[in-house]
């Protein structure tokens, strides 16, 4: 087991000692419980973990930002389709 030391200002130290006394727990056990609660509260969601690892949207396309930038990608594809369609119309009208 690892030993650590912390520095507390007088106010925080008084709050901590009073808490431990009221709850009947050792300072060590109080700190362990507080750390566990904080770690649980701020545990990343599966989606956050996947984003951190670059997994979202990366499997089929290889692009890791598909989910994050989906609006931009849809707009790009619509613009490209509009451009292709307008070129096709121009080709047809020039042949006629």
The larger pLDDT score, comparing residue 65 to residue 88, is at 88
| DSSP H helical ranges for 1-96 | 10-23, 27-41, 46-52, 70-95
Cα angle: 2, vertex 21, 28; to 5 degrees = 5
Q: What is the mean pLDDT of the chain?
A: 84
pLDDT confidence band for 60 (50 / 70 / 90): low
pLDDT confidence band for 69 (50 / 70 / 90): confident
Domain boundaries defined on the chain: 10-95
pTM value?
0.49
Q: Average pLDDT in the 81-93 region?
A: 81
**Tell me: the pLDDT tens digits for 28-50?**
999 999 999 999 998 888 888 87
Q: Average pLDDT in the 73-88 region?
A: 83
Cα 32 to its chain centre, rounded Å, is 25
Q: Average pLDDT in the 2-30 region?
A: 96
């Amino acid at each position: 087991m690892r030993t650590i030391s912390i520095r507390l200002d007088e106010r925080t130290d008084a709050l901590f000692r009073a808490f431990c006394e009221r709850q009947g727990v050792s300072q060590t056990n109080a700190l362990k419980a507080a750390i566990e609660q904080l770690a649980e509260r701020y545990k990343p969601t599966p989606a956050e973990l996947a984003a951190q690892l670059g997994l979202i949207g990366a499997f089929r396309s290889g692009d890791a930002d598909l989910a994050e930038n989906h609006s931009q990608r849809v707009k790009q594809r619509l613009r490209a389709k509009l451009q292709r369609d307008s070129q096709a119309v121009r080709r047809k009208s020039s042949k006629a």
